Copies of this chain bind each other. A is one copy, B any other.
Amino acid sequence: MDREALAQAAGKVIWREDRVGKWLGMQLEELRPGYARLSMAVTEHMANGQDYCHGGMIFTLADSSFGFACNSHNQRALAAACSIEYLAPARIGDRLTAECREQARAGRAGVYDARVTNQEGELIALFRGKSATVRGHWVEDGRGS
Report A's interface with B, CB cutoff 8 A: 14, 16-20, 23, 44-50, 54-57, 59-61, 63-64, 67, 78-88, 103-104, 106, 109, 111, 113, 123, 126, 128, 130
- Identify A78's interface contact among B19, B86, B111, B128, CB under 8 A: B86
Cβ–Cβ < 8 Å partners of A47 in chain B: 19-20
Cβ–Cβ < 8 Å partners of A111 in chain B: 85, 87, 126
Inter-chain CA distance A109–B20, complex, in Å, is 27
Cβ–Cβ < 8 Å partners of A57 in chain B: 20, 56, 60
What is the chain B residue whose CB lies nearest that of A46?
Answer: B20
Query: Is A17 a contact partner of B49 (Cβ separation < 8 A)?
Result: yes
In the complex, which of the residues A59, A63, A83, A126 has the most CB atoms of chain B within 10 Å of its own CB atom?
A59
Output the least CB separation between A119 and chain B (Å).
18
Cβ–Cβ < 8 Å partners of A56 in chain B: 20, 56-57, 59-61, 63-64
With contacts A19-B44, A56-B20, A56-B56 taken as known, whether A106 is within 8 angstroms of B82 at the C-beta atoms is no
